[in-house]
Structure 1
């Protein structure tokens, strides 16, 4: 009876929309992890200077082995939320079942959702430091992997990385689930099963996660409609519409070091170099969002504190690596010294010049 009830319950659990993969199997090849590593993991044994994540820290953001990592967290707890994956913003010009305004609202719901995750990450970073602006050992310790559940995970580094990873997930999905970067199949007529491709580069101004204004949305931009029976042509609520199944470029092999791709397996991803376009766009966007996040920390906490926070997030042993003066602090000290020397030199020059003038008058 217990087994029967368990199977019955599982049958009622909504299946997630297919996205860049978070597991190895079922057609997925851990695409989110590999994209994130290609974008932000430090190469080989290189130490981080703030632009990349060292191995243990990269594991928490990207995932490893059976762990989803922060970037895969939405596939654990937000599988049925289209705003977490930039789904359900479909549109096609000419007699389409949805208006451009409806599609734009769906896309902006995704942007707003990702902005919320981005802000959460900035706010949670405050817990990395104590009142004296020193790193808190318990908050940055990675003796055990982060738990992707804010209710039980208390470490500030893990909570910050999780929120940022959730923002990255949707930003990466935007390139797979939309026609922003891809091209259409020229061998077939345009339609719901073959929407136009915009062929645009990354980063996308639509994904302005630091901003608060309404981003401009191209008139032909579309993502896919998703229902559990995701297919082409669309069924149920997706009848007559551009579907997730017809537009996504989710699956294939991604090299976690170079970002190179092989073997795309979805119909849209197999058209021309669409899978490569989606992966490249996601990698560029991921790097861009990390730059934006660092800038947001500086704006919120000042350069010195933000430098410590960035060091703590990217280093595996921040207590040893980050307690020394940060690069920003050193630069500021050197700059202040140079300015002081320049000022002193200018003062001496003026005194000598004045003395010379007085002597000539005498």
Structure 2
């Protein structure tokens, strides 16, 4: 989201004026950002309540980030800052006389969904390496003695690699709610148009962001995300001229409570309209929880319940070799059945026979 500032902070200061700040849910604590991605992710999945599938502190740090360290959810701001499919940009459309068609906008949105599906499946693939051939957790694969190094060939820990892929998927689905009009409303004091597109006010999570299945998402006719260029502005310039822009539609910046997800003090124009910022953040939190549920479900479908249970445990616990069962559930159940059978057989042998 505020990704591009991070991708080249020095260049950004030199070439971008005040009206052209590139923004999205923030990843850092400068340039107007307040680590919004981190705070959304923590509110969704970090251990602050009774959720038995929550992420313990050290593992949450790797997924969400902490302080000046990028977590997995911030990785696209480092390596994919200008890729619209990583941030669901460029799916802009307005009914009427508009520079691009509904079909073109829909194709851009589907490209984003396909990209995020690839990241989601990558996380499922990489989770396989959390376990050894016998189905036990590999200690070296889950060790968090040092922080994960995202997008680094040096990083070989399966936990870090799976979290990176999942975090990249989360970044894009969170951006969808900030960069689109799915949850929001237009400014009622101004006429609708490219600089004030209609809002859809739809509930969350969005069926468009089903990353588990290959089916083509149905896109509402009025759905739009903003066109982005480096000199992001309202009205749009360069290829974004006469189009709905990221600058005009985003709800990226404000204050988010990392425990509750409460969103206040929005600082973008669209975010200050009504409850637009709060609704975008609430949608992103809800979506993050949905994707974590879906990841667990996909692990079960791919690897079976016993292995998936260990994989999920390994991803979310700080010391999984101590906190997760070392014997897969199915194996343990088989051992238990065998023991019970032997006991019953022994009792049967010792029972006195009738004369």
TM bucket (normalised to shorter chain) is 0.7 to 0.9
Tell me, in whole angstroms, the C-alpha distance in 1 between the residues paired with 2:12 and 2:61.
Answer: 32
Deviation at 1:195, TM superposition (A): 0.4
Deviation at 1:16, TM superposition (A): 8.8
Q: 1:237 to 1:310 in 2, by over 3 A?
A: same
Deviation at 1:323, TM superposition (A): 2.6
Tell me, in whole angstroms, the C-alpha distance in 1 between the residues paired with 2:255 and 2:332.
Answer: 42
2:62 is aligned with 1:60: yes
- Give 1:20's aligned residue: 25
Q: 1:69 to 1:191 in 2, by over 3 A?
A: same
- Give 2:237's aligned residue: 235
- Give 1:171's aligned residue: 173
Deviation at 1:213, TM superposition (A): 1.3
Residues 178-232 of structure 1, C-alpha deviations (whole Å, 9 max, x = no match): 0001011111111001101000111100001001111100000000000111010
1:63-142 matched pairs, under 5 angstroms:
63-142=65-144
1:1-362 matched pairs, under 5 angstroms:
17-43=22-48, 49=52, 51-324=53-326
Report the structure number with the largest CA radius of gyration.
1
Task: Name the TM-score, length of structure 2 as normaliser.
Answer: 0.87
Residues 132-173 of structure 1, C-alpha deviations (whole Å, 9 max, x = no match): 101100000000000011422100000000000000000000
Q: 1:207 to 1:16 in 2, by over 3 A?
A: farther
Q: 1:20 to 1:336 in 2, by over 3 A?
A: farther
Contact 1:41 1:55 in 2 (8 A): yes
Residues 250-281 of structure 1, C-alpha deviations (whole Å, 9 max, x = no match): 00000000000111000000000000000000
Contact 1:27 1:251 in 2 (8 A): yes
Tell me, in whole angstroms, the C-alpha distance in 1 between the residues paired with 2:322 and 2:243.
Answer: 55
Q: 1:330 to 1:283 in 2, by over 3 A?
A: farther
Tell me, in whole angstroms, the C-alpha distance in 2 between the residues paired with 1:19 and 1:8.
Answer: 18
Tell me, in whole angstroms, the C-alpha distance in 1 between the residues paired with 2:68 and 2:234.
Answer: 32
Tell me, in whole angstroms, the C-alpha distance in 1 between the residues paired with 2:119 and 2:103.
Answer: 24
Contact 2:136 2:326 in 1 (8 A): no
Contact 1:20 1:32 in 2 (8 A): yes
Secondary structure at 2:70's aligned position in 1? coil
C-alpha RMSD of matched pairs (Å): 2.5
Tell me, in whole angstroms, the C-alpha distance in 2 between the residues paired with 1:108 and 1:22.
Answer: 25
Q: 1:137 to 1:195 in 2, by over 3 A?
A: same
Contact 1:17 1:80 in 2 (8 A): no
How many residue pairs end up in the alignment?
328
Runs of 4+ in 1 over 2 A off after TM superposition: 7-13, 323-326, 328-333
Tell me, in whole angstroms, the C-alpha distance in 1 between the residues paired with 2:94 and 2:193.
Answer: 8
Any gaps of 5 or more consecutive residues in structure 2?
1-9, 342-355
Deviation at 1:317, TM superposition (A): 0.6
Tell me, in whole angstroms, the C-alpha distance in 2 between the residues paired with 1:267 and 1:216.
Answer: 29
